[in-house]
Amino acid sequence: MFDISPDHAIGIYAGLVALAAALLALRLRPGRRGLPGTVLGASVLLAVSGAIHLGLITTHLREPVTVALFLMNGTGYLVLSQAYTWRWWRPASAALLTSTLIGYLIYIAFGFDTPDQVALATKLLELTALGLVLVPVRGERDRPRRIIRWAALGAAVPLLTLVTTATVWIVDLARPDATHAHAGAVLQQSNAVASPDQVAAAATLYAETKAAITPYEDWHVAWAAGFRPGPTNMPSTHWINQHNVNAGYVLDPAHPQGLVYANTKHGPVLLGAMFQMKQIGQFGPDPGGPLTAWHEHVNICVTPFGGFEFSFMTPMAVCPIGAIDLTVPAMLHVWIVPNPGGQFAIDIDSAVVKNIDRS
């Protein structure tokens, strides 16, 4: 969702070319005078959206249905972008924009395409164009049907914005690509099946890490070593050693950047260690191949309130007020308690934490 599919990149270039051409076409048409700026703006956005759709045909030639839909949409948008003096321009444009938005959502819901930045940007242009097509302007003549248009604008644009964002988000969460292990986490890529050497290396890393952090089962020892807890209002808490973070140790069992404790009624119970890279965008060494793949949390909205609470950035790249989106440097967990997801899984199973709390 936050990447650009290689086969969609051409849409950006087509859109940029169409933007220049549409602005030039507006200048050359004397009929534009006396028209509201909203109509002219919608005309430009329709031209850009149309060009993006037509541009995408070249990379989808093996998908006849998709090509037919792109061709219909693109041609329709381009024709309407130049037909703004036509009496039925507004109803026709609103109908095509709405049906395209809804059609795209059905298309991705059934898995025929995956949302990416080009698709989302196009939907953004279409929503804006729909608003500009519908919004009544002061001083318009020729029975502008103001009440109907206000009602359509007030209902359609907010509703379609909400439905588009929600559908894209649900589809992205329900069908993450191969690099996204779970929401907001990008997994380091490696070979599919671990080799015997990688299995042995992972076992060595696990044994060395477990031996090194066992003294920290007593949280007082961890505290004395410089580990400090993050927010404790969750079932488990990461305790970070800022010295180890700043020193930039890389996958050093004796110097993990963090420890993870379950917050139980008996006090903190050690669950495992966390190794973290110092720089954003760098994965660490991966001795166990797919067994010890690092992960990076991207596009998360973090707030300092409550000791760094977080949520996920919306598909429209907005965070709640008071939070900013950032990427957390790559990390690798080593769980020393039995974890159904594995010894190096991204997360500890919540049932494991609950069982520890109950015991």
Partner 1 sequence: MIEAEVRSSRPEAAFVLLLLQAMFWVIAGISALPFAIAGEVFMIALGAASILLGLATLLAAIGVLWRRRISRRLVIALEVICLVGSAIHLAVPIGANRGLVSVMVNLGLPVAVILLLRKPKEAFS
> d(Cα 221, Cα 340) in Å, to the nearest integer?
28
- Which residues are paired to 275 by β-bridges? 332
Nearer to partner 1, 286 or 325 (CB): 325
Q: 89-109 and 37-57 are packed helices; what angle lies between their axes, rounded to 10 degrees? A: 40
> d(Cα 203, Cα 192) in Å, to the nearest integer?
18
Nearer to partner 1, 279 or 359 (CB): 279
- Are 297 and 319 a contacting pair, CB within 8 Å? no
User: Interface with partner 1 by CB under 8 A: which range of 47-55, 98-106, 154-162, 339-347?
Assistant: 154-162
- Are 188 and 179 a contacting pair, CB within 8 Å? no
If binding is defined by CB under 8 A, does position 98 make contact with partner 1?
A: no
Residue from 280, 282, 351, 354 that binds partner 1 (CB under 8 A)?
Answer: 280
Q: Which residues, numbered 54-73, are part of the site for partner 1 (CB under 8 A)?
A: none
Q: 146-174 and 117-134 are packed helices; what angle lies between their axes, rounded to 10 degrees? A: 170
257 burial type by CB count under 10 A (0-12 exposed, 13-18 middle, 19+ buried)? buried
If binding is defined by CB under 8 A, does position 274 make contact with partner 1?
A: no
What is the secondary structure of 158-171 as a DSSP string?
Answer: HHHHHHHHHHHHHH
If binding is defined by CB under 8 A, does position 92 make contact with partner 1?
A: no
Q: Which residues, numbered 157-186, are part of the site for partner 1 (CB under 8 A)?
A: 157-158, 161-162, 165-166, 169
Rounded least distance, CB 253 to partner 1, Å: 27
User: Interface with partner 1 by CB under 8 A: which range of 67-75, 182-190, 284-292, 307-315?
Assistant: 307-315
If binding is defined by CB under 8 A, does position 38 make contact with partner 1?
A: yes
> d(Cα 57, Cα 63) in Å, to the nearest integer?
9
Nearer to partner 1, 36 or 341 (CB): 36
Nearer to partner 1, 12 or 199 (CB): 12
Of the candidates 33, 35, 32, 31, the residue with the CA atom closest to the CA atom of residue 141: 35
What's the full length of the chain, in residues?
359
Residue from 293, 315, 332, 356 that binds partner 1 (CB under 8 A)?
Answer: 315
Residue from 36, 91, 229, 341 that binds partner 1 (CB under 8 A)?
Answer: 36
If binding is defined by CB under 8 A, does position 151 make contact with partner 1?
A: no
User: Interface with partner 1 by CB under 8 A: which range of 37-45, 188-196, 237-245, 265-273?
Assistant: 37-45
> d(Cα 305, Cα 164) in Å, to the nearest integer?
30
- Which residues are paired to 324 by β-bridges? 302
If binding is defined by CB under 8 A, does position 195 make contact with partner 1?
A: no
> d(Cα 241, Cα 351) in Å, to the nearest integer?
27
Question: What is the contact mask toward partner 1 in residues 326 to 345, using x (rule: CB under 8 A)?
Answer: xxx-----------------
Rounded least distance, CB 11 to partner 1, Å: 10
If binding is defined by CB under 8 A, does position 282 make contact with partner 1?
A: no
If binding is defined by CB under 8 A, does position 87 make contact with partner 1?
A: yes
Q: Which residues, numbered 214-243, are part of the site for partner 1 (CB under 8 A)?
A: 231, 233-235
Rounded least distance, CB 51 to partner 1, Å: 15
Determine the size of the site formed for partner 1 (CB under 8 A): 73
If binding is defined by CB under 8 A, does position 264 make contact with partner 1?
A: no
Rounded least distance, CB 352 to partner 1, Å: 17
> d(Cα 212, Cα 214) in Å, to the nearest integer?
6
If binding is defined by CB under 8 A, does position 139 make contact with partner 1?
A: yes
Dihedral (Cα; 8, 14, 16, 21), 10-degree rounding: -160
> d(Cα 145, Cα 157) in Å, to the nearest integer?
18
- Residue appearing with tokens 């010295």: 243
